[in-house]
Structure 1
């Protein structure tokens, strides 16, 4: 099932997501994860958090391969082992640490189509999470994959990438954000707007 993407302005995007309990039915969780992958790929995203499909639970999926630089043969250029592409579901994640020099990259978000801004994030992260079999892992990621994870993790904390830009930049995009929240948006995937149902 492909979900509509929740647009900027919906309260679910600003609320801290809740942990998925241990007794949550495994088959239901597997289905949600698969549906989120399908929705992410349909919208040409590299990450998708559950609040973006209207579910206030601590879950996100990523596939950072499209973000990787490639060599002449089309293979990803990987500068260090933890910087390579990753496809994974993160259940009940907890950020353990964010280290290294902060670096800037122009980010966008499926919930805020047509808006891209420079965001600075740490180079390396350590994150603890459960996989789809509810096994706990603690892993280190760096580079672009770390950035994608940080962006999606922020969604679970009720933080959007637009919250991380300067006050001046926020003023410049204020009108555009207001239009998105009202449904005045051009996206090639279905969206859901606060108070308006689906489109």
Structure 2
């Protein structure tokens, strides 16, 4: 289901709760909403659709990917970026990392670890910030 985009900064500033197998439907709603906004959006976190769960969805080099409970376990190559967000007006400057190693759970709640670089890395960092309640 395509959901409305949450713009409530007080809600967006809350740290997300751990996702469980009962949240698979939320992940599908998140993907549906991301795809509906694909012309202006490359990633979303569950709080952007009004659900305070640690779930992100993003464009991973042309294929959509969902992560449950993602955590950055290693990062390198800091740089300054300027990003926009469907939930917030304008763009904001922030520090990002060229390379990140992420641990997450897939849709079967199996733990995965992978290193991401470049643009995909930046998208994931932005969405994990949402999970942490960080508004850049």
Q: Fold-level match, TM-score > 0.5?
A: yes
Could you say which residue in structure 1 is the equivalent of 2:17? 18
User: Partner of 1:80 in structure 2?
Assistant: none
- Do structure 1's residue 145 and structure 2's residue 120 form an aligned pair? yes
- Say if 2:27 and 2:46, in contact at 8 Å, map to a contact too: no
Give 1:86 shift.
5.1
Runs of 4+ in 1 over 4 A off after TM superposition: none
8 Å Cα contact 1:47-1:64 kept in structure 2: no
Structure 1 counterpart of 2:59: 63
TM (norm. structure 2) is 0.89
| Alignment-derived partner of residue 37 in structure 1 | 31
Alignment TM-score, normalising by the size of structure 1: 0.63
Unaligned runs of 5+ in 2: none
Partner of 1:5: 5
Asked if 1:122 corresponds to 2:97, the answer is yes
Task: Report how far residue 105 of structure 1 moved.
Answer: 2.9
Match of residue 129 from structure 2: 154
Report what 1:79 is aligned to.
none
Q: How far does residue 15 in structure 1 lie from its aligned partner after superposition? A: 0.8
Residue aligned with 2:134, SS: coil
Greater fraction strand: 2
- Quote the RMSD (CA, aligned, Å): 1.6
Matched, 1:109 2:85: yes
**Which of 21, 36, 45 is residue 49 of structure 1 equivalent to?**
45
State the secondary structure of the residue aligned to 1:6: coil
1:98 aligns with 2:75: yes
SS where residue 116 of structure 1 aligns? Answer: strand
Which sections of structure 1, spanning at least 5 residues, go unmatched? 66-84, 162-199
Larger Rg: 1
